[in-house]
Amino acid sequence: MMYRYLGRTGVQVSEYMLGTMSYGSDGNSDERECVEIVHRALDRGINFIDTADTYSHGEAESIVGKAISGRRDKVVLATKFRLSAGDGHNDQGGSRYWIMKQVENSLRRLKTDHIDLYQMHRPDLQTDLEETLGALSDLVTQGKVRYLGGSTAPAWYLAETQAVSRLQKLSRFINETSPYSIFQRAAERETLPAVQHYRMGFTAWSPLNGGWLTGKYSSKGGAPAGSRADRVQGQWGKHYPILQSRFDMERPGNRQKLELLSALEPIARQAGLSLMHMAQAFPLAHAAVTAVILGPRTIEQFVSMEAGFETKLDHSTLDQIDALIPPGALIEEADRGYVSPWLAPEIRRHAGTGFG
């Protein structure tokens, strides 16, 4: 396992980060297997773990807390807040009210006295950034949080967080987590340049594009049993409706993916790689990327991913990928991860209903 610095913090983290979105009732309800995945990852040299308060309604954090018990000091632990985590009107967002309440819930579930990287899970445009950053800075001062970050934020928002932190002398975001893969290269246009400019870390989520880049989907048949495309048809998909669009085979972007897969597979074979290993290594070729988040749901999936941990893509392979899918390209809009609220009709067409 290789390690990289997390922005300019001086903290070294593994190039692969263990993602836990599939832990619990929304993915793998076998707690023992989830714990074993964490232990295997730690034994393999992964020291960076990603979770969130909303993954399986908090179950994922609880599982992670049990899994790292006795090894907490060897883990750089990241979790998130912001998305709806309850039935109340204020059980979400970037307000001081919610941040101070929810951080305690996450600490309790994770069985720890501090979170190494506390990330805002999408921007909250209804809450003043000074309030959000002020509350988060207080958590840093209290020792409950070490570092701050964002998740799936547009570049202008990252710039605004840096400006507010500087002007108000508040703790700043040191990391951004956004989708980045062969099929989702939109981050290369503005997000990655912003990350490099502000010397932030960057953790890439969905490097396998939700399983598309494993080669498991084809135009000849339906979704394999247990795959994300299969699971979004059930209760899991109701919790995350955007995921249903990511696997709707009637969407033009998804049909284009099926065509591109037949062209990507020969590139991988020529490089002596599986399609999956080529895909998981792709984000690491970009100088701005700190780590790639891999979210195996089963032990078998972890073992398959682990076999590619040492993979590095050469210039020839990267050039062939660029020729097929140019830098900055986004094949399917549903993969963007962030839907700009300014595109909604009520914002575009009616005065007095905007933000700010």
| pLDDT above 90 for 277 | yes
| Residues 6 or more apart in contact with residue 99 via CB below 8 angstroms | 81, 132, 135, 136, 139
Q: How many Cα atoms occupy the beta-carbon half-sphere of 12 within 13 Å?
A: 5
Which of the residue ranges 59-73, 77-91, 253-267, 330-344 would you say has the lowest mean pLDDT? 330-344
Question: Do residues 177 and 187 touch, judged by C-beta distance below 8 A?
Answer: no
Helix axes 299-306, 31-43, angle to 10 degrees: 20
The one-letter amino acid code at 292 reads: V
Helix axes 129-142, 155-168, angle to 10 degrees: 60
Angstrom distance (rounded) from CA 47 to CA 25: 25
Average pLDDT score over the chain: 93
The one-letter amino acid code at 239 reads: H
| pLDDT above 60 for 236 | no
**Pairing verdict, β 3-5 and 12-14:** antiparallel
| pLDDT above 70 for 240 | no
User: Could you read off the pLDDT of 116-147 as tens digits, one per residue?
Assistant: 999 999 999 999 999 999 999 999 999 999 99
Angstrom distance (rounded) from CA 285 to CA 277: 13
Q: Where are the domains of the chain?
A: 3-349
Question: Do residues 293 and 207 touch, judged by C-beta distance below 8 A?
Answer: yes
334 token code pair: 């549903």
Mean pLDDT of 238-260: 84
User: Could you read off the pLDDT of 162-215 as tens digits, one per residue?
Assistant: 999 999 999 999 999 999 999 999 999 999 999 999 999 999 999 999 999 999
Predicted TM-score (pTM) of the model is 0.93
Confidence of residue 235 (pLDDT cuts 50, 70, 90): low
The more confidently predicted of residues 51 and 244 is 51
DSSP state of 172: -
Angstrom distance (rounded) from CA 210 to CA 332: 12
Tally of CB atoms within 10 A around 24: 21
Give the C-alpha distances (Å, rounded to integers) separating 283 from 203, 257, 297: 9, 18, 21
Chain centroid, CA 327 distance in Å:
20
Topology at the third CATH level for domain 3-349: TIM Barrel (3.20.20)
Give the C-alpha distances (Å, rounded to integers) separating 161 from 192, 265, 291: 15, 40, 22
Per the listing, tokens 């309850």 go with 86
Question: Do residues 165 and 171 touch, judged by C-beta distance below 8 A?
Answer: yes
Q: What pLDDT is attached to residue 186?
A: 98
Question: Do residues 213 and 246 touch, judged by C-beta distance below 8 A?
Answer: no
Task: Supply the residues annotated as catalytic.
Answer: 55
Residues recorded for the chain: 356
Task: Give me the helices (H) in 3-128, please.
Answer: 31-43, 59-67, 96-110
Angstrom distance (rounded) from CA 97 to CA 132: 10
Q: How many Cα atoms occupy the beta-carbon half-sphere of 77 within 13 Å?
A: 27
| pLDDT above 80 for 349 | no
4 token code pair: 């990289």
| pLDDT above 60 for 301 | yes
Q: State the first-to-last Cα distance of the chain, in angstroms, to the nearest integer.
A: 45
Confidence of residue 356 (pLDDT cuts 50, 70, 90): low
